[in-house]
Chain A
Amino acid sequence: MSESKLSPLLGTRDLVLHIWPKHQNLLSFDPSSVAALLYLQLVLPGHFAIAYCANPDLSPSGQLPFLTHGLFHASGLSAIVAYVRRLPNARNLDAGLSPVEVAQLTARVAHVDSSYGDLVNHMLYSLHENWSDVTRPALISMLPVPQRYYVPARIRASHQTRLEAVELWDVPEVEEEPEEQRRVVFGKRKKHRPDPEAHHFKKAFEREKVVEKARAFFDVYERLLGDRQFFTGSERPTTLDVIFAAHTHMLVDIRLPDPW
C-alpha cells in the first residue's frame, strides 16, 4: 500500500505490457511485441496498460516483450500467453477447437514463429540497405544517448548466429547508384569496379534461394487459409491468426528500400 517506500508501480494491480516503441506505422518494432499486444487486446480489451520501453535489460530474461502484473512477471510471448490465458476475466481465443486442433495449432504457431520470424529478421537486420536506412536509425532514435552508439550493432550481431544457421544471413543485395556516394573518401571518389561474372551469378542464386524459402512458406499458409477469414474457419481469430498477423504487419507496414 502507500506507506511502502517502494516504487508506486509495484503496488498497482494493473497488467502492464512492456514492448518496443512504435516506429512510423508499426505498432512496435519487434514481431513478438506486436503479437503480445494484439493478443492482449483480443483477450482482455481495456484491462491492461502499455509501456513503451527501449531497454531490454529491464526484463527478467533480457528480452522484450515482458508483462508485469503486481509483483508477478512473465517474459517472452509464450509465457505471456500462458499467464494471461489463466486470468479469470480473460476470453479464451482457442475455445472452439478440438484437442487435436489445439495440438496442430501449437505446431503451426511454432512454425510461424521460427520461419516467418527468420524472414522478418532477415529483412530488417541482414540486408545491408535496410539495416542502414531503416532499422539502425529507428533503433538509434529509440535509445538514450550512451546506448545508441553501441547497442544497435550488438543487436544486429545477436541475430547473426541464427540467420547464418538457416542460411539467411549473407545475401548480397542489388547494387544501386546511391552506393557511390558512400564511397566518397576525402573528396576523392573511389572507382566503382564492375563485379566479375562469378559474383553476379552468386548474387542471383542467393537471392533466388531466399525467395524460394519464402514462397514455400507462404504457399503452405495460403493453402491453409483458402477463402476463409481466419485460419481455423472459426468466427474469431485464434492464437495462430494473431501471430501470423503480427509478422505480416511488420513486413507490410514498414517501408523498406530493399523489398522482395
Chain B
Amino acid sequence: MAMASPLALSLPAPLRHFFSLFPLYTHPPIESPDKARPVTSPTLWIHPPWSPDADVLSSDVECLKWQAYLALRGLSDVVLRWDISVDGALDNRLPNLHVPLKTLPGASLEVKQQDDGEGELLPAHLIPEWVDGQVGALDELEGYVDQAARDESRAWVALLEGNVHAALVLHQPSSTSFLNLLSPYQSKLRPLEAVVTHPPAPLFGISSLLPSYGTHVDVDTIEHQYKEAISSLSERLGTDRWFLGSSSPTALDALVFAYLHCILHSKEHTLRFEVTRRVNLVAWERRVQSQVRDAFRVVESLRQP
C-alpha cells in the first residue's frame, strides 16, 4: 500500500482498512497495432471498389465523381484508402480528402511549419477549392468553350443527377441481410424521394386511412426517362474528345464518367444495355478510365499480402 507523504492528511484507520479490501492495480500500457500514420500526400477516403485487388475506382457514384475530378484536373499521385466506414466521415458522407497542412491554400506560414502529420480533413464540397490552390484556379468559364456551353452544362448536370441517378438508385442491390437490420449503424444512401422531382405517392395511396408508408415508385417513367437521357447523352457527345466540345476535361466530364462507369458495372442488364448499345459512350468511357486510373495509388496497408 502506498504511503502518503508526511504532510498529507492520513486516512483514519477504519477507512484505510476498508479501502484495502479494494486494491488498485496498474496494468502496463497495451500496444495497439492501429497507429495513425502521418499524412504526407493527399489521401482520398472512398467507398471500396468492386474488386479491391484489381481496381482503384470506387463503386459509389459520388466517390467516383470526385476521383475523376481530381484526376482530370491534372493531379497525380493521390493516395486512396477505403478502410474507413461511412460513420467516420464528415457529415456521414464519403468521399473526404485528407491533406497535409502545407498544401492548404489559405493556411498561414506558421501553421504550415508546425505540420505534425495530422493534416486537415476536407468534405467533398471543399475539394475544388483545394485543387484550385494546387494547380491554379479555373477562369470564369470553368473550362468550357463559351458562356452558352457553361449554361448548357448545368442542364446536363441536372439530367444526370436527376434521371440517370434515379435509375441507378432504383436498381441498386439492396443489402437486406439480417445483420444489416440488426446493426444500429445504418449507412444512409440517398433515398429515391430526394432524387426524383415529383414526390412519389405513398404505398397505399395518399388518401388512404392507413398511415403513409413506403413509396409507390413509377418504374416505367424512371426507365423511360433514363433511356431518353442516355440517348441524348450519346447524341451530344458525337465524336468529340470531351463533352460540349471543350478542349480540356471539365467537371461535367468527371460526372459523366462516374455515371457511365457505375452503369457499366451494375448488375442490372437493362441499364447496362442502354449504354453498351452506344459505341461512342463506351469508347469514351474506356479512354477516360485509363486516364483516371493512372492518377491514384493505394495506401500500402491495404494491399493484399
Contacts and interface: CB of A to CB of B under 8 A. Distances in A.
Interface of A: 32, 55-57, 61-63, 75-76, 78-79, 82, 99-100, 102-104, 106-108, 110-111, 113-115, 117-118, 147, 151, 154-155, 157-159, 161-162, 164-165, 220, 223-224
Q: Which of B190, B191, B194, B212 has the most chain A CB atoms closer than 10 A to its own CB?
A: B194
Given A111-B155, A162-B196, A220-B151, 10 more contacts: A63-B201, A78-B224, A99-B235, A102-B232, A104-B232, A108-B152, A110-B225, A111-B159, A158-B212, A159-B199
B208 A57 contact: yes
Interface of B: 147-148, 151-152, 154-159, 162-163, 190-191, 193-202, 205-208, 212, 216, 218, 220-221, 224-225, 228-229, 231-233, 235-236, 238
B179 to A, nearest CB: 27
B218 A76 contact: yes
A162 B235 contact: no
Nearest to B203: A62
B196 to A, nearest CB: 7
A154 B152 CA distance: 36
Contact of A63 (B151, B218, B225, B231): B218
Given A61-B221, A151-B206, A107 B156 contact: yes
Q: When A and B form their complex, which 6 residue pairs have the shortest distance between CB atoms, in order from nearest?
A: A62-B201, A103-B232, A165-B194, A111-B155, A111-B158, A103-B235
Contacts of B159: 106-107, 110-111
A58 to B, nearest CB: 9
Contacts of A114: 158, 162, 197
Given A61-B221, A110-B158, A110-B159, A56 B206 contact: yes
A107 B158 contact: yes
Contacts of B221: 61, 75-76, 78-79
Nearest to B236: A103
B304 to A, nearest CB: 38
A52 B292 CA distance: 53
A57 B154 CA distance: 34
Given A75-B221, A76-B218, A110-B158, A104 B152 contact: yes
Contact of B148 (A78, A113, A147, A223): A223
Contacts of A223: 147-148, 151
A220 B228 contact: no
A113 B161 CA distance: 12
A114 B164 CA distance: 13
A220 B154 contact: yes
Nearest to B244: A104
Q: Which of A57, A113, A114, A159 has the most chain B CB atoms closer than 10 A to its own CB?
A: A114
Contacts of A82: 224
B191 A57 contact: no
A158 B228 contact: no
Contact of A57 (B201, B228, B232): B201
B218 A75 contact: yes
B207 A147 contact: yes
B163 A162 contact: no
A161 B193 CA distance: 6
A155 B154 CA distance: 29
8 contacts: A78-B228, A100-B238, A103-B233, A106-B232, A111-B154, A111-B157, A158-B212, A165-B195
Contact of A107 (B147, B148, B152, B212): B152
Q: Which of A113, A117, A164 has the most chain B CB atoms closer than 10 A to its own CB?
A: A113
Contacts of A118: 197
Given A78-B221, A79-B221, A154 B197 contact: no
